[in-house]
Amino acid sequence: DQQVKQNSPSLSVQEGRISILNCDYTNSMFDYFLWYKKYPAEGPTFLISISSIKDKNEDGRFTVFLNKSAKHLSLHIVPSQPGDSAVYFCAASEDDMRFGAGTRLTVKP
């Protein structure tokens, strides 16, 4: 059972515009939600996280929004830069950590 879902396999945006990546989850017991970025042939690297008791967390160009009632979170990147091109994974965490299938973001110059 896939408890974390990213339904968009890919997203393409223009440099300087906003990128919005979406994620849904099914298990209401998750305490934290995290976003990771992954380049080919490397392990994922952490971007930003949010506690289940908050609805927004911001770190520079990256903002994560959490809608608990809808079991939905999103990552906003503003402004998008070509170096942001990568695969983005959302994850949901208790003592384990479950990942979605990922969204490949391409930022075009």
Partner 1 sequence: NAGVTQTPKFQVLKTGQSMTLQCAQDMNHNSMYWYRQDPGMGLRLIYYSASEGTTDKGEVPNGYNVSRLNKREFSLRLESAAPSQTSVYFCASRKGGGPGAWGTEAFFGQGTRLTVV
Q: What is the rounded distance in angstroms from the CA atom of residue 94 to the CA atom of residue 97? A: 6
* Count of other CB atoms within 10 angstroms of residue 52: 16
> Which lies closer to partner 1 via its Cβ, residue 20 or residue 32?
32
**Contact criterion met (CB below 8 Å) for 75 and 63:** yes
Sole window of 45-53, 58-66, 68-76, 78-86 interacting with partner 1 (rule: CB under 8 A): 45-53
**Contact criterion met (CB below 8 Å) for 96 and 29:** no
Using CB under 8 A, which of 12, 15, 26, 31 touches partner 1? Answer: 31
> CA 46: distance to chain centroid?
10
Q: Which of residues 47-76 bind partner 1 (CB under 8 A)?
A: 49-51
Using CB under 8 A, which of 85, 101, 104, 106 touches partner 1? Answer: 101
Using CB under 8 A, which of 20, 65, 68, 99 touches partner 1? Answer: 99
What residues does 5 pair with on adjacent strands? 24
Give the three-state DSSP class for 36. Answer: strand
- Residues binding partner 1: what is the number (CB under 8 A)? 26
Instruction: Supply the minimum distance, in Å, between the C-beta of residue 109 and partner 1.
Output: 27
Q: Which residues bind partner 1 (CB under 8 A)?
A: 1, 6, 9, 31-32, 34, 41-46, 49-51, 89, 93-102
